[in-house]
Amino acid sequence: MTFKARQIASAVRAGRLSAREVVEGCLEQLHAGTDDPLRAITRVLAERALAEADAVDVLVAEGRDPGPLAGVPYGVKDLLDVAGLPTTAGSRIHAGASPARADAEAVRRMQAAGAVLVATLNMDEFAYGFATINALHGTTRNPHDPARLAGGSSGGSAAVVAAGLMPLALGSDTNGSVRVPASLTGLYGLKPSHGDLPLAGVFPFAESFDDVGPFARDAGDMATVWEVLSQRSAPQDQAPLRIARLGGRFRENADPDQLAVIDAVASGAPLVELPDVAVARSAAFVITAYEGGRLHEADLARDAMAFDPQTRDRLLAGALLPDELYRRAQDYRAQYRARIEAVMADWDVLLAPATPCAAPTIADPRILVDGEMVAARANLGLHTQPISFTGLPSLAVPLYRPGRLPLGLQLVGAPLGEPALLRFAVELESQGVIGVTAPRHAVGVEV
């Protein structure tokens, strides 16, 4: 399924290809690796997918437009409601939960645009991690090197798109859970302006930061799915974009290739420092841990041993945080956001690394930060978490580096500034600076 979403939709809408043919081909690829070597898929929804594809074909036969994503297969992170299925959030605790009564609003909007849901996808338990190390479903593998992590917590969503199994997927991003796996698997991944895309029917992690976010294989597909989810059209603004580079902490713990590209594409652009980045990240940790711990407090009290041990310990620590500390962190966040929005008044795009490095190995899931080896599961969001704290939109884009492990940048925008980010991504694509490359390993499936 190496076609891009817009190519598929164009062919289906024109009658050159049926949605059923597209979806049958996708399902055949998913079943080709019946043991799911990527550990990316939690459920294949073949019956639903074929029914949705047939509904698209009926609309085409009747001369009606099925939508901008007609016949495009996609998957969703296993914390978005899918009608008739339990929403597990990657945990055995909810494997037997009551089935969802309706689709998540994001899924409903994708279906209304003609997209076809084919699978639910692996994640860190309750989205608490940057690695997709899941005690129930296994560790999701990176299609570019199966011995390495795909990142998380939306690792399954990233892996299936990077492997070419489907052109789009939906994840969620709290502190980097879309942007981190996008960077490690070489994709485009969007953390939208906080609260802008629909969260109805999405199992929460930390509601102060949670957002739905899509993965795509180029800027054009990302723009299309963003328009579908936001129900807005990107304005065709031609004014020169005001670009700056993020300095300070964002120039540390970065791959030299990331910094070289940033400096090349924004030659002469000023370095802008966000104030107190380390403090902002610490406050984000407090808010995340507190909200996550409080959300799962009853289940922890009832059966703490049912949780993934690494998730359990972090949630227990969060549940013990005092209310006053949480309130102070939230007060600081409100003040910080006002300061950052004042900074963003002068810029359309800020450039920064998305992750500190390329994907670490599964055998040794650690990364180097400030000269010390630390757990990847907690620290791959070093550069994304401070951006989440601001609520600003951020688009992860893949450096074009064939034959090497993927690395990504963040394009950070003003509130509701996604159109500027998408436009700049198109410019970087045209320069050959960013773009998706095929994995070097097929991982048991046709890519």
What secondary structure does DSSP assign to 261-293, as a single string? HHHHHTTTPPEE--TTHHHHHHHHHHHHHHHHH
Catalytic residue among 4, 18, 91, 153: 153
Find the catalytic residue in 154, 177, 208, 388: 177
Tokens encoding 192:
């939208």
Structure tokens at 367: 């990364």
In the annotation, is 388 catalytic?
A: no
Q: Would you call 322 exposed, middle or buried from its count of C-beta atoms within 10 A (0-12, 13-18, 19+)?
A: exposed
Q: Within 10 Å of residue 48's Cβ, how many Cβ atoms?
A: 18
Task: Return the DSSP state at 234.
Answer: P
| DSSP structural state of residue 360 | P
Cα–Cα–Cα angle for 362, 365, 366, rounded to 5 degrees: 155
Contacts of 393 (CB under 8 A, 6+ apart): 190, 191, 192, 193, 196, 412, 413, 414, 415, 416, 417, 418, 421
Tokens at 120, concatenated: 């639910």
Is 4 a catalytic site residue? no
CA-closest candidate to residue 392, choices 173, 198, 185, 184? 173
| Catalytic pick among 4, 18, 77, 394 | 77
Which neighbouring-strand residues pair with 409?
A: 353, 397
Which run of H or E residues covers position 374? strand 372-375
Question: Is residue 77 annotated as a catalytic residue, yes or no?
Answer: yes
- Catalytic residue positions, numbered: 77, 153, 177
